[in-house]
Structure 1
């Protein structure tokens, strides 16, 4: 899965997708701040990859919004993610790390998966290969561009507030 995630990030620019965008080579992220994405805060649950996906997001504090994610299939954790949206200078970035069901990391110790900001709207934020949209107070949609076995697809996570 680590290889899939890394390949996903390398191929984002070549693949045309409906809901995700790519930051063109050499361009910098637009100005943004955490208050513009504070609507992500909350406990969210939905179905994905044949199981139950769950994310818990904190409110902005200390120049970040932290989160944890888990995917449960057949009553067992398939994998976890831990990460944040961090304020960096005049923009924001989403960074995460993956862990298997026994908390063994996928990425190297000092490595993160980084999603640079591409575009921000009042209820929608586009990171490079990952888009989050507030549908209403109790629903958000998250699209992630994933490559597996040579093909790329956008995976939709339909989350409801818990």
Structure 2
């Protein structure tokens, strides 16, 4: 089964506040209740080069600095991720975190080791932002947070064949490029 289908998170009915747990450390979201206003300067803690282990290999993630005009809600962050297993590229991602259709969303495209996109040309995997508190950002089915050791934790909800969800947690350490 392709990892892309595992990473897609389906929407389910939620509580009246628009958010509920999907897994122990991730949230799900009611349609229309994503964050519509946020200053991305609050997410500067994501910026940098991060390396860790997960999905059976070495994971690297790079978040570029926030750019754009906050007053016009035109800020964005971009970055990339790659998974290397036994010294070989397994897959990579390119992502964009920006406001889209009145909500803040992390959109990403997966690429196999042959650089063929897993998603169709105009498709992508989407994680609407639910909330930000301190150095934790909750997206639908994905949580980023800085832990007590100043490491970046990325926790993703993975849908199983039986419809249940499990979590994959990657603990990244900040590195210099």
**TM-score of the two chains, using structure 1 as the length reference:** 0.88
2:106, 2:136 → 1: CA distance? Answer: 14
Counterpart CA distance in 2 for 1:79 and 1:97 is: 10
Taking a change above 3 Å as real, the CA distance of residues 34 and 120 of structure 1, as seen in their structure-2 partners, is: same
1:149 matched to which residue of 2? 161
Q: Is the 8 A contact 1:118 1:127 kept in 2?
A: yes
Could you give the per-residue CA deviations for residues 45-76 of structure 1, whole angstroms, max 9, x where no partner exists?
00001100000110001321111100000110
Is 1:77 aligned to residue 89 of structure 2?
A: yes
The answer (yes or no) to whether the contact 1:33–1:92 under 8 Å persists in 2 is no
CA offset digits 1:114-135 (Å, max 9, x no partner): 1111111111010010010022
Residues 155 and 169, structure 2, Cα contact 8 Å, conserved in 1 = yes
Aligned residues: 160
Q: Which residue number in structure 2 is paired with residue 4 of structure 1?
A: 6
Q: Which runs of 4+ in 1 moved over 4 A?
A: 11-15, 88-91
Larger gyration radius, structure 1 or structure 2: 2
Task: Indicate whether 1:129 and 2:141 are aligned.
Answer: yes
**Change over 3 Å in CA distance of 1:58–1:12 after alignment to 2:** farther
Does residue 17 (structure 1) correspond to residue 54 (structure 2)? The answer is no
Unaligned runs of 5+ in 2: 15-20, 69-74
Change (3 A) 1:13 1:66: farther
CA contact (8 A) 2:50 2:62 kept: yes
Structure 1 regions of 5+ residues with no counterpart? Answer: none
- Please provide the CA RMSD for this pair: 2.2
